[in-house]
Amino acid sequence: MPTEEVCDSVSAEDDAKKGPDVPFLLEERVKEKVSWKDVLRKKVGKKCSCSSARIKALLVDSIPIVKWLPRYQFKDWIIGDAMSGLIVGILLVPQSIAYSLLAEQDPIYGLYTSFFASIIYTLLGTSRHISVGMFGVLCLLVGQVVDRELTLAGYPSDTNQTTLGNVDNSTGPVCDRSCYAVMVAATLTFTAGVYQVLMGLLQVGFVSVYLSDSLLSGFATGASLTILTSQIKYFLGLHLPRVQGWGSLIKTWISLFKNLGHTNLCDLVTSVLCLLVLVPTKELNDRFKAKLKAPIPFELFVVIAATLASHFGLFEETYGSDVAGNIPTGFMPPQLPNWSLIPNIAVDAFSIAIVGFAITVSLSEMFAKKHGYMVDPNQEMYAIGFCNIIPSFFRCFTTSAALTKTLVKESTGCQTQLSGLVTALVLLLVLLVIAPAFYSLQKCVLAVIIVVNLRGALRKFGDIPQMWRVNHVDTIIWLITMATSALVNTELGLLVGVLVSAFCVLGRTQSAQVRQLGQAGDRELFEDLVSSYKGLQNQPGVAVFRYEAPIYYANQALFKKSLYRSVGLDPLKEKARRRKLDKQRNQKQGGEDQKQEMDVSTNMYLLQYNSLHTLVIDCSPVLFLDTAGVNALKEVCKDYKGLGVDVLLVQCNPSVIDSLRRGGYYDPKKGTKDIQFHTLSDAVSYAQSLKSQNGDCDTVV
């Protein structure tokens, strides 16, 4: 025998023994099985261990000031902290009085709230820059609950009359309208704080990631419209009760138009003058904030001027203007919440707790990222929780971080939360000495301050076209949340926003498509063949597809439908067609026409599909599989196997591989071996080697 023939025969034998290309395999680590009892015992032991190091670490984590205060760089940081604390304190004086009006509280309690919140967050907070105090949306929510409970208790609207009715007051037998309003707000604040601390204990700080920026922005804008509407009556000097229930914004505007004839001209003129001063000066502060070392406190100047004008002009006595009234100095003794009110306000407190925490964590993380440090969401939950629990005993109402004052704090050189103590000192001076001087301050001036501070949220309406160009889904979430918060109900707006966001995420998995992939030349690069790139090539006999979503119970039917449509071969329809032909053949046995029809049909089928022998599915975007997803893949593999088409799964992550194994996808008895392909090139090479081994006509059964 010639040498060449011997070599050829040996090579052929070697190829036959070699078989199909063996894909590259990774050696998996052997996972040690640990019983749940050992895991639980280890975690409990770690949490409950008691040592000096453990106590020290727990103290440092629970009270962050213990960690950073000893490292305080006095010479470098004290000037910035003192300046920012002083400026924020000056700004907080008029705003604290104004937002008390929004929360249906007397002005003194707004000052109390800002004072205690500044001190407690300095001790417990992990952010260096945020300013914790009153936030307009939370004040609105508190005011709505207070007004509702006052109505249920039988108090007349917008009066200070003493009522001796059926009021369960733990502090005494008699409680007027103002006293009961304080009691409701303090109990609501206490309950919200307890919720926040419990969420911190349960380590559920991660819930903040489910509240997207578009959702929070839409909610804040919708609530801002409600706040704006609620303050118009003070602009006009009207005595109107706060409208409760769904559609309160529309009902309030109807009530305003009906009562325009009772407008107090003194309050209207004062409101217009204050607007003409504050709006331009606020814009100047914003425009030149880079050049100004600190924003000019025009609000404080307006408050001082308006108070002097009202006092010497006798606006209350002569024109009947509503004024802030008596603001006492000093502190009142602490009092317990009214426990009997908790069942009535428990649901409201939960929504307030979520909003307060979400706003605080969002601002904390935003400024931490900007300045290069980390914040702990769970510790922030503790901090804001105790900023509500402890002050609630001193008749305060709910607090959170506030964007406007945080921006001022950052821009004026703040380095640490020591600036919060400086702010508290400014407020303490007002509480002990200056507070009574604001007796003659008109409520319409406070309303103007509230409305002017809503400019940032209301400007979002001008950003809608840009938002739509950037992302349609986020814009839809923003619009729905905003509209629901403003036109239906504020708390319901937050819930609807969360549900819409969840359905949008679910919808994206429902709208995922199977994409056919092509190879870029000889490179190991596969991309979308149809719509993304040009010049990509198909491998003969091998079709490569990618499904860009997890496969689970909600979209497993869509996955199969999209795959069959993209491949161009639906196994179920093909099997139905064959059964129909078999039935016709049995009915017309021996019919020559029928035999010719079947032969033609079968030949057409073979001509159309005999080139496809392997279907490769790129599973890299598939993050997880549930039982329904595994069953869907098993059905796809089985259906195509019946037509002689092999199905290969590629680039599965370890969790997907575990799900396939547990679900019985890999079964050697049924022809599905546990072969893992880590790249598409490996799978395509393996498929081509299978083809060369089986021959051209062995792909269709």
Burial class for 623, CB neighbours closer than 10 Å (0-12, 13-18, 19+): middle
Write down the residue that tokens 């909610």 correspond to: 219
Pinpoint the residues of the chain covered by CATH 3.30.750.24.
512-569+609-694
Q: DSSP for 304-347?
A: HHHHHHHHHHTHHHHH---B------S-PPP----GGGHHHHHH
CA distances 149 to 144, 620, 624, Å, are 9, 55, 48
Q: What is the pLDDT of residues 487-530, one digit of tens each?
A: 888 878 888 888 888 888 777 777 777 787 877 777 777 877 77
DSSP conformational letter for 628: H
Q: For the chain, what is the largest distance between any 2 Cα atoms, rounded to a whole number of angstroms?
A: 129
Write down the residue that tokens 């604040």 correspond to: 189
Residue 463 CB neighbours (<10 A): 13
**List of residues 6+ apart from 439 with CB closer than 8 A:** 311, 323, 324, 325, 326, 327
**List of residues 6+ apart from 568 with CB closer than 8 A:** none
Q: DSSP for 380-447?
A: HHHHHHHHHHHHHTTT----EE-HHHHHHHHHTT--STHHHHHHHHHHHHIIIIIGGGGTT-BHHHHH
The pLDDT value recorded for residue 700 is 31
The pLDDT value recorded for residue 384 is 92
Mean pLDDT for each 10-residue chunk of the chain (701 residues)? 43 45 67 70 69 70 85 86 87 86 88 93 90 87 89 69 42 68 93 91 70 82 86 86 80 89 90 90 80 76 90 88 84 89 91 87 84 86 92 92 82 85 92 87 87 82 88 90 87 84 80 78 74 72 85 86 83 77 71 49 43 84 88 88 85 87 78 75 80 44 27
Q: What is the pLDDT of residues 70-82, one digit of tens each?
A: 888 888 888 888 8
524/503 Cα distance (integer angstroms):
37
Buried b (16+ CB within 10 A) or exposed e, 310-344: bbeeebbeebebbbbbebeeeeeeebebbeebeeb
Q: DSSP for 562-593?
A: HHHHHHT--HHHHHHHHHHHHHHHHHTTT-HH
| 512-569+609-694 maps to CATH 3.30.2420.10 | no
The pLDDT value recorded for residue 606 is 40
The pLDDT value recorded for residue 51 is 67
Cα torsion for 522, 524, 529, 532, to the nearest 10°?
-110
628: Cα separation from own chain's centroid: 29
Retrieve residue 433's tokens. 């000495």
Is 98:447 a contact under the CB 8 Å cutoff?
yes
279/297 Cα distance (integer angstroms):
13
660/674 Cα distance (integer angstroms):
9
Is 644:701 a contact under the CB 8 Å cutoff?
yes
Q: DSSP for 642-663?
A: TTT-EEEEES--HHHHHHHHHT
515: β partners: 546
The pLDDT value recorded for residue 592 is 52
The pLDDT value recorded for residue 536 is 75
